Amino acid sequence: MSLYGVMRTSTSGMTAQANRLSAVADNIANSNTTGYKRSFAEFSSLIIDSNPSSYTPGSVQTTVRTAISQQGNLLGTTSTTDLAIRGNGFFVVSDTDGTPYLTRAGSFIPDSNGNLVNAAGFYLMGYPITNGDINVVANGYSGLEIVNLDDLAMRANPSTDGKFRVNLPANANTVAAANLPSVMPGGASTEYTAKTSLVTYDNLGNEVILDVYSTKTGTGTWQVTVFDKAAAGPNGFPYSSGPLSTTNLTFNTTTGQLTAPNPPTLSVNIPNGQTLTINMGGSTQFAGDYTINDAIVNGNKPVAVEKVNFGADGVVYATYSNGNKVPVFKIPLADVTSPNNLNQLTGNVFSTSPDSGDVQIGFPGTDGRGSILSNTLEQSTVDMATELTTMIDAQRGYTANSKVFQTGAELMDVLVNLKR
């Protein structure tokens, strides 16, 4: 047996216990770090070939692992931008250079530019929702943008859809073709059966009032003509411009139900706006008065965002002061085949390694991924009692190895002094 080998082996033992203590120190220091995953040391023996008459001691090797896949306890908060993941998956974040990383630390707040950033300075990434569509790249980070809340400050929604359901009086007088509003937009002899005005909105959120004229043209037939009120004269007609839309309606004279057109819609091109499709389905021709049963048009003037909500499916909704909820972002969750083999980096973030597998992008609740919780943070997975127990055990192991080293050193002194 080599005394030098004894000292070398005990040194490796002290180094191993020191590594174990280092992991404990990191864990205790980060016991209150949001989304922190506990690290721990695992040991394996290194054996050196020996002969039967002389034993050669080996050493101990240390591997520090991090339990990245372990779920931390969930803690409720008062901030809607505090996010946690229940189940598998990681938030995709980026640093100031735009480099993407993975994290479970969801303590996001808006910075001075409105970007959502967590306590370590990493920005939350998401897919912008444009006209209800998102562009997803499943095996990479393309298409992701920093989630910004300042861009949601004001929004005007142009009118695109509406519903106008009325009862047209079956006993109304028929108007001659030469006097219809669609033929005589500027004539004093223009006649019509009923008129209704609807408020709509253009692209900038300006109100555009539409004058809707319903005119009986024959037995079971009507004409609906739409004008821009801004072009009306002092008494309506004459208008300075022609109609925005003209549609002919046909009713079953027995049942009073609308039979044409099919579908029962009319299209109106809003000045400086979008094409408004008005559904007149359900309109009737019965005896009695002209009655409005539904008059609904979407769109709104510019309104401010009151709050932002995060759905469990990752959709970010902007709630405006008029009560409208508009989806503006969708937060993805990333995953890898072996999360515990991810590289752990400063700032409580992770990057892929050859052993972890490539990143796959998806959405909460799909392919085994968890759900996103708002007003919630994932706590550290550190258990203080476990760490203190490990610390005491590592201290005793280090002391025992130091005793072995001390004994070896004393025997080495005896050996050296034999020459004297």
Higher pLDDT, 128 or 413: 128
**pLDDT classification of 303: cutoffs 50, 70, 90:** confident
Give the residue from 377, 311, 317, 308 showing the smallest Cα distance to 77.
377
By the 10 Å C-beta count (0-12 exposed, 13-18 middle, 19+ buried), 321 is classed as exposed
pLDDT at 312 over 70: yes
Higher pLDDT, 135 or 225: 225
**pLDDT classification of 193: cutoffs 50, 70, 90:** very high
pLDDT digits (tens, 9 = 90+) for 317-347: 988 877 778 888 999 999 999 999 999 999 9
pLDDT digits (tens, 9 = 90+) for 163-184: 999 999 999 999 999 999 998 7
| Least reliable range by pLDDT among 6-15, 33-42, 181-190 | 181-190
> Average pLDDT for residues 251-260, to the nearest whole number?
96
Give pLDDT, residue 310: 93
Query: Which parts of 141-290 are beta strand (E)?
Result: 145-146, 154-157, 161-167, 194-201, 207-218, 221-228, 245-251, 258-260, 265-269, 275-279
Query: Which parts of 243-402 are beta strand (E)?
Result: 245-251, 258-260, 265-269, 275-279, 291-297, 300-310, 315-320, 325-330, 333-335, 343-345, 349-351, 360-362, 371-374, 376-378
Omega prior to 238 cis, within 30 of 0: yes
Give pLDDT, residue 337: 94
Residue-by-residue DSSP string for 294-320? EEEE--EEEEEEEEEEE-TTSEEEEEE
**pLDDT classification of 186: cutoffs 50, 70, 90:** low
- Give the number of other Cβ atoms within 10 Å of residue 229's Cβ: 15
CA 369 remoteness from chain centre: 14
pLDDT digits (tens, 9 = 90+) for 26-83: 999 999 999 999 999 999 888 877 677 777 787 898 888 999 999 999 999 999 999 9
pLDDT digits (tens, 9 = 90+) for 82-131: 999 999 999 999 999 999 999 999 999 999 998 999 999 999 999 998 77
User: In the chain, where are the structural domains located?
Assistant: 3-67+381-417, 74-151+327-336+351-378, 159-298
Give pLDDT, residue 1: 53
Higher pLDDT, 138 or 101: 101
As assigned by CATH, the class of the 159-298 domain is mainly beta
- Look over the chain and give the mean of its residue pLDDT values, rounded to a whole number: 91
Q: If you search the block for the tokens 């959502």, which residue do you land on? A: 116
Omega prior to 243 cis, within 30 of 0: no
> Average pLDDT for residues 258-279, to the nearest whole number?
96
pLDDT at 282 over 70: yes
Give pLDDT, residue 305: 81
